[in-house]
Structure formats: C-alpha cells, structure tokens
Structure 1
Amino acid sequence: MRFDPWNPDFVANPYGVYAELRQQAPVTFFEPTGQWLIARHADVNALLRDRRLGRSYLHVATHEEFGKEAEPEFQEPFWRVVRAGMLDVEPPVHTRLRRLVSRAFTPRMVESLRPRVRAIAGGLVDAFVEQGGGDLIAEVAEPLPVTVIAEMLGIPDADRPLLRPWSADICGMYELNPAPEAQHTAVRAASEFAGYLKELARERAARPGDDLISALAQIDELTLDELVGTCVLLLNAGHEATVNVTGNGWWSLFRNPAELARLREDRGLLPSAIEELMRWDTPLQMFERWVLEDIEVGGVVIPRGVEVALLFGSANRDQEVFVDPDRLDVGRADNPHISFGAGIHFCLGAPLARIELIESFGALMDRAPKLELVREPVWKPGYVIRGLESLDVRVA
C-alpha cells in the first residue's frame, strides 16, 4: 500500500505506510494535492513552531502574489467565517484573538468545569447503561463535548441539535480535495451557523448573561465577524477531537484487551491512558501549513508558496521518539505526542478536552465494567479528521 488518503484501507490503518515514509522518504512531494508530506516527529514538531510557515499566507501576500488562484466565489461565506477565527490567521491578529479568548480557558476556569463535565458524562453513561448499550459515539461521545461547549457559549437547549450537523458539515471542507457537494454543504453550514450566532450575539450584547458569547459581545476589540469565527472554531475544535478520541480510543482498547483489563484494574492510569490513546490512533492525522519563506527539511529544500502536510499520525509512531511505538501502553510515562499541535496554534481547549475524556472514560469504566464490542466498526471516509462511523457496544 502507498499513501492514499482516499483509500478506505489506508484510512483504516495508515501506520505501515507511515513507517515506510519515515524510513525511506520522510520528506516527499505528494502530487495529487501538491503538498510536501512530513513524516518524522522531529521535523513535524519543528515546523509547527517555525514562523517561516503559517496557516495562511494572506497576511503577507495576496493570492496572486503567492501564485495561487483565489477560492471560487461561492466559497466566500465559508472563508469569511473561518478566517475570522484564530486558527487560520497569524500574528498580530492571532495574538490579539488568542489573548482575548484565553480569558475563558485559564487553568482555574477550566478546572472549575470538572464537576459539571462529570455530571453530564455520568448522566449520559447512566442512560446508555440502562438501555443496555448502543452506539457509543452517537449516545455518549458526541453529546458530551457538544453539551459542554454549548453551555459555555450559552446556546439555548432547543438549538443545540443544530450544532453537531453544522460542525460536521463545516469540517468537510478540511479534507483533501473535497468533492464539490462537500464544498457547497460546508458553505451552507458556515452561512447558517454565522447567521445564527450573529443574531444571538446581538441579543447578548443588549441583554448579557453568564456565558461566553455574552462576555465576547462586550469586548470592543472583537468584531462581530471575529466573535462568530471564534465561536465556530470553539465548537468545531472543541468537540471533533474529543468525539474521535473517544471512538478511536475505545476501539483501540477493544483491540488490545490486556491494556483494557489493565486500565479497568487501575483507574489511576486514566490520565496516561488518555494521552496514549491520542498518540496511538490520532484523531487529527494531518495539519497543513503554508511555506512563507524557503525552508530546508531533512536536506530537502521546500520553496515558498507551497503547502506542507504535517503527518501527526506518523509523528506519533516515530521510533526515534517513542519506545516500541506500535504497542499501546496505557501506562506510557514518556509521551510527547503532538495530537494537540505545538507552537502558537497549540490547541487552546486541550485542558478541557482532557477533562472530558477522563470523565467520560472513567464513567464508562465505573458503570459498565464489562462493556463489550458488538461488531467491528467502519471508518468514516475522511482522512484528515479521522474517526469511526459508529461504535456498537453492549453492557454485559
């Protein structure tokens, strides 16, 4: 098999191909997407921190100056939303936005959410156990982070079912060479979500409550578009990874029953187990960045104006960094995985995601100690954001 992000077999298990890339072609050009694939941990980690690269190039050049065609006109509503959030901008705009939003993600404030996260997770798991099991992703993994971020933002209960479909549709644009239908779906979702959030922000500006949208609406430095882009990013990043770590993680444990038994016997391993599950089957397989100045990686010159594809899934299995990297070890102590990124774009919500995952896995371990897999799951077709369609389990 070769690197083929559209091949279901590759998506299901890319790790053998990654091993070959790290050994034989750690920096290689991938013609179908026009990107340079970067496979080794040291290179990925360094490039995440290198200011000669950026998530965007529009802060230093126009599309034409960078030798690129502008996006099709119909995509404009999507990019207006996305480029108003901090993920797809660079300093000084990124610095300002992150500083403002970071106020809601201080360690103390995030830790204060733990009791509420525990209560939500416990309620979801109790209902799941009472019905004897079902689709773990749809009934536990997805509702938990969506509920948490919706409560933080102050989304009314009745509107919360809208959030997950909007997020999933928007994230479809981040796949490699997305199909026209996926592009139009993403644009529509971004437009609908932006319109909803603008109306809600105007209401909260006039009548603020005790929620993040109200707080953001009071900040004069933040434009309405930036508020919307920030909220969309918080929803997408705030739950896509958590959902997929939960699904991928339980599937990993079912495939490694000795490690599952070890974790069930010692709940003190939960924090290290969560880090290991993120490393061993990474939910975000690839993170793309534009080369703003010529760089050299592993003896290969990569010119300005192209994109590098940082292979997180490969970096997290690098034998130069991890002892016995293909072995799942829920007690792994030395685990410098990069599933949350690095540098200025390191995931702002990482501490909250860790709390959600520990509480979710812990509740399932406590309330369903003999959870069993019903059938082997199927992977979604997406490669960049990689997760399962469903995970059917029973409470034995």
Structure 2
Amino acid sequence: MSNAPVYEIDPQAFWADPYPDLKRMRTDCPVAFVPQLGATLLTRRDDIFVNEKKIDVFSSDQPEGLMTVLMGQNMMRKDGDAHMADRKAIFPTISPKTVQQVWTAQFRAAAEKVLDGLAAQGGCDLVRDYAMPVSGEALKSITGLSNMTAAEMDRVSQGMIDGCANYAGDPDVEANCHACTAAIDACIDEMIPAKDAAPDMSLLSVQRRAGLSEGQVRANIKLAISGGQNEPRDAIAGTAWALLSHPEALARVRSGEVEWKHAFEEYARWISPIGMSPRRVARRYLLDDVTFEPEDRVFLMFGSGNRDAAVFANPDRFDLDQDISAAITFGAGPHFCAGAWAARALIGDVALPMLFERFPNLSLAGEGRFGGWAFRGPLEVRVTW
C-alpha cells in the first residue's frame, strides 16, 4: 500500500457531493489514501495529466479489477500495443468522418421522434423522458444492437456502472451486473447473423470484420454501453439544467454568441460525468513524497482535476467565459475517450439545440438532484414548457 496520508470520507456524503472533500484533498493532501475506497486518489489536475500517460507505472491492465471481472477485458483495460490494436479496430465506427456522415442524421431522427412524443405533455423529467431515450437510441445505432430498447439500454448500462463502482462489494449489485451483461450477450447473439449478412458501420459489425475475437467484441460493446449511455444521458440533462439555471448563459447560447458544444464542455468540466478512472500500480514509484507499491489501486480523479483552482479561474462555477482548454473531461493520455466525437455531436449538435428549439419556453419545475462521484449526473431534472 502507498504511504500517502490517510483521508477519511463519509461514503454517502461523498456520493451526494464529493466536491468539498476533493477540494480539501487538493489543498491538504493532493495524493491521499481513502480507506473507504481502498485506493490512493490523485486529485490535482496536473498530477493526473502527467501521470495518466505513464502506463508503465499506472496501468490500465487490471486483471482483478471490477470492470475486467464483470465485463471482460475491454480496450479500456489494456495498455500499449494491445490497447492500440483494439482502438484501431473500432475507429471506423467512431471516427469524426463516420460520426458526421452516418450517425448524426440518425441522432437527429431519434431526437425528433422523442420530442414529438413529448410535445403534448407540457412538461417532463429531462433525464428519464428525453436524455435517456435520445442517448439510448443513439447507442443502439452505434453498437448495432437495434434489438434492444432504449430503456433496456439504460437499464443494462446502469447495472454495469453500478457494478464497476461496487467497491463495497454488495452482492446484490454484483448479481444485477452479471444479469445485465448476460442480457447484452443475448442481444449480441441475436444480431450477429444480421450484421454478418449486411455489414454496416456499427461497433458489432466493424469489430467482426476486423477479426477481433468473440470475447473482445463482446467486452468492447459492453464498454461502449457502460459509458456511452449514462454519460451522454447525464450530460444532455445536466447541461440543459445548467443553462436553465443560468438564464444569461442560455441567452448567449441561443443568440449564437456561444456554441452549444461549448456549453456542454463547460458543464462537463464543472460536473464531470466521468469523475474517476482506476489504475493498477505496475512498479514501485515515487510521486512527491508518496511511494506507490506494485498492485496498489489508484484513482485518477478527473472530477477533482477539472475543479483545480490552480488551473481554472472559476473552478466551482458554470462559466461560459472559462478557459477550458486544460480540462481533462475525456481523459489526458492514450485512453482519451474514443467516443468523444460521437458525444460532442449527439449532445452539442443535436440533443441540446433541438430541445431548446422545440420548446422555446422551457423552464425548470423544481431543483435538479445530482449524485455520484465515480460517475456523476442529475437524478432528475423536471421542466415545463
């Protein structure tokens, strides 16, 4: 175990609002061992930015890690050549060109259908009724699992997310995660013949044409679902909440002075949908006065780094004038989020502008509720129009 200073947390309070604890850690013990999480946390932006690239020390290859055990060894849990081989294989699906030429039109069609269904209601929960189905329909297209409903996509994604953050070892959470991965495998089994007969740009089809093993194909699709559903869902609803909570910012975006994409990226700096990424220490290493030992568990706290006062002028505020060039929302090293282009298109080019265009009188109908630290987002955003 590392000799980092110990910092105690209340897990429930940390889940409800991790930022006060993270701020104290950045100031008092930026590299801290948190016994309730069984991990040493890196909380300063520059420490994360520099050390995420040192894969010989902070390895993503975690054979005993929760994600590997529960979902299989996907590309996110590989380093070096093995990681790059998987990344190269899936690139045709998520390249900027494919996003522009294939997926964006499908994103728009799905969002329009969801909005049509909401129009007569007069109000909704943006998380459940808009962001969830829009994100789910987009992910159905990208993965190739068109036989899964958007609600089922959301269910299995959440089950895997809960499983991967189950550091307390709750057996019910683990069992539900296994049930969710089994449901995904069943959908993959059903779609393989169709995709082989009529190849397309979906993740299932592209990986099979690239010759990846069945285990790799399945693990990478589960990875895409675990991150590609909840993060866009939370960012769509969360950015809408942030803009509705800051009318002057919304007016600037609506006027065209500020791009929707910029509003999304400032929100994602402020409330990082991916708050943490785990690593395994591969060899003894000294960082400042802390010595890491092999097999130590380390958490790179992106949500903390994105609020580092040494880097950002107004770290704890949603501020469209903020310089966000140093944000590490999508990661900082070789594991930079492969789905970043798709996320930017879905959220910034489609979901947000279409929502506010359809409902020009959109307004909040209560306080937004947020939760999470490894993955963070709104639990409910009620609106009327």
Which residue does the alignment assign to 1:34?
A: 38
Instruction: Choose which of 339, 342, 363 in structure 2 pairs with 1:372.
Output: 363
Moved more, 237-246 or 327-336: 327-336
Q: Report the TM-score, using the length of structure 1 for normalisation.
A: 0.87
Which residue does the alignment assign to 2:3?
A: none
The yes-or-no answer on 1:277 pairing with 2:267 is: yes
The yes-or-no answer on 1:391 pairing with 2:381 is: yes
Q: Which amino acid aligns with 2:138?
A: V
The yes-or-no answer on 1:361 pairing with 2:367 is: no
In 2, are the aligned partners of 1:377 and 1:389 still within 8 Å (CA)? yes
Which residue does the alignment assign to 2:76?
A: 87
In 1, are the aligned partners of 2:238 and 2:378 still within 8 Å (CA)? yes
SS at structure 2 position matched to 1:130? coil
Which residue does the alignment assign to 1:195?
A: 186
Distance 2:218 2:233 in 1: 22
Distance 1:159 1:114 in 2: 19
Q: Which amino acid aligns with 2:364?
A: L
Q: Which amino acid aligns with 1:13?
A: D
SS at structure 2 position matched to 1:247? helix
Distance 2:92 2:152 in 1: 26
SS at structure 2 position matched to 1:301? strand
Which residue does the alignment assign to 1:65?
A: none
After TM superposition, the structure 1 = structure 2 runs for residues 191-270 of structure 1, keeping only pairs within 5 Å, are 191-205=182-196, 207-212=197-202, 213-220=204-211, 222-266=212-256, 268-270=258-260
Q: Flag the 1:321–1:119 CA change in 2: closer, same or farther, 3 A.
A: same
Which residue does the alignment assign to 2:279?
A: 289
Deviation at 1:372, TM superposition (A): 1.4
In 2, are the aligned partners of 1:54 and 1:291 still within 8 Å (CA)? yes
Q: Flag the 1:297–1:125 CA change in 2: closer, same or farther, 3 A.
A: farther
Instruction: Choose which of 111, 123, 141 in structure 2 pairs with 1:121.
Output: 111
Instruction: Choose which of 8, 12, 19 in structure 2 pairs with 1:15.
Output: 19
Q: Flag the 1:79–1:158 CA change in 2: closer, same or farther, 3 A.
A: closer
After TM superposition, the structure 1 = structure 2 runs for residues 32-111 of structure 1, keeping only pairs within 5 Å, are 32-51=36-55, 52-58=57-63, 79=68, 82-111=71-100
In 2, are the aligned partners of 1:296 and 1:302 still within 8 Å (CA)? yes
Instruction: Choose which of 16, 24, 28 in structure 2 pairs with 1:24.
Output: 28
Distance 1:102 1:388 in 2: 30
Q: Flag the 1:326–1:81 CA change in 2: closer, same or farther, 3 A.
A: closer
Q: Flag the 1:365–1:79 CA change in 2: closer, same or farther, 3 A.
A: same
The yes-or-no answer on 1:298 pairing with 2:254 is: no
Distance 1:319 1:45 in 2: 15
In 2, are the aligned partners of 1:289 and 1:309 still within 8 Å (CA)? yes
SS at structure 2 position matched to 1:218? helix
Q: Which amino acid aligns with 2:176?
A: T
> How many equivalent residue pairs?
374
Which residue does the alignment assign to 2:174?
A: 183
Unmatched runs of 5 consecutive residues or more in structure 1: 59-69
The yes-or-no answer on 1:153 pairing with 2:143 is: yes
Which residue does the alignment assign to 1:341?
A: 331
Distance 1:262 1:253 in 2: 10
Q: Flag the 1:84–1:301 CA change in 2: closer, same or farther, 3 A.
A: closer
Q: Report the TM-score, using the length of structure 2 for normalisation.
A: 0.89
Deviation at 1:264, TM superposition (A): 3.0
